Amino acid sequence: MIYEVRTYILKPGTVPEFEKRFAETLPHREKYSRLAAFWHTEFGPLNQVVHIWPYEDLGHRTQVRAEASQDPHWPPKAADLIVTMESEIHNPAPFMRPMGNEKLGNIYEMRMYTYQYGAIPEVIKRWGAVIEEREKHSPLAACMYSEIGGLNKWVHIWPYASLEERTRIREEAAKGGKWPAPTRDLMLRQENKLLIPAPFSPMH
């Protein structure tokens, strides 16, 4: 399984209209493969939408995109709203559960770490040793590392009911001394953004 993470920056004030157009055409796109999640940013870089598509492999992605491109209803007619588009292909971490149709939270925090060249296998090992303890506090929505696009990236996504719950859970998880995973010696950069699921997002 691979996951394509597509991030679009939209013109200010156009996120609701983009989501409306996307929702209208999504049933046509999902004839070819399913959507895993669709969010827009609330904190962090503004006017972004993030949508994630799972595929069996790169060959499956190529096939699906070729088929969908022949559908007159896809992609949404929204070029007038888009400033930039980015796409990255990620591999799921061994302990990541497949992204599916789940209600996990009202907000999602996407954290993006850039590690030193060649460090991802060690990161997987260190995270694997402590992730079970962290999930006693709240579930992991996704955890994956980049294969195509920005390299050496580690993306993990956490759902919360509210900002207050996020603060409480993060404080509780840190008390035991096992979290965060001990990878700061390998880390070059950290970023995060808080996301709100669209009404049609399978993961919400």
| Mean pLDDT, the chain, whole residue set | 97
What does the buried/exposed string (b/e) look like for 1-26 if buried means 16 or more CB atoms within 10 Å of the residue's CB? ebbbbebbbbeeebbeebbebbeebb
User: Token match 């980015």: residue?
Assistant: 86
Name all domains of the chain by residue range, CATH numbers in brackets. Answer: 2-197 (3.30.70.100)
Question: Which runs of consecutive H residues, i.e. helices, occur in the chain?
Answer: 15-29, 58-69, 120-134, 163-175
pLDDT digits (tens, 9 = 90+) for 70-106: 999 999 999 999 999 999 999 999 999 999 899 999 9
Between 100 and 127, residue with greater pLDDT? 127
Query: What predicted TM-score, i.e. pTM, was given to this entire model?
Result: 0.96
pLDDT digits (tens, 9 = 90+) for 49-69: 999 999 999 999 999 999 999
Burial environment of residue 49 by CB neighbours within 10 A (0 to 12, 13 to 18, 19 or more)? buried
Is the CB of residue 38 less than 8 Å from the CB of residue 49? Answer: yes
Span 111-125, mean pLDDT?
A: 98
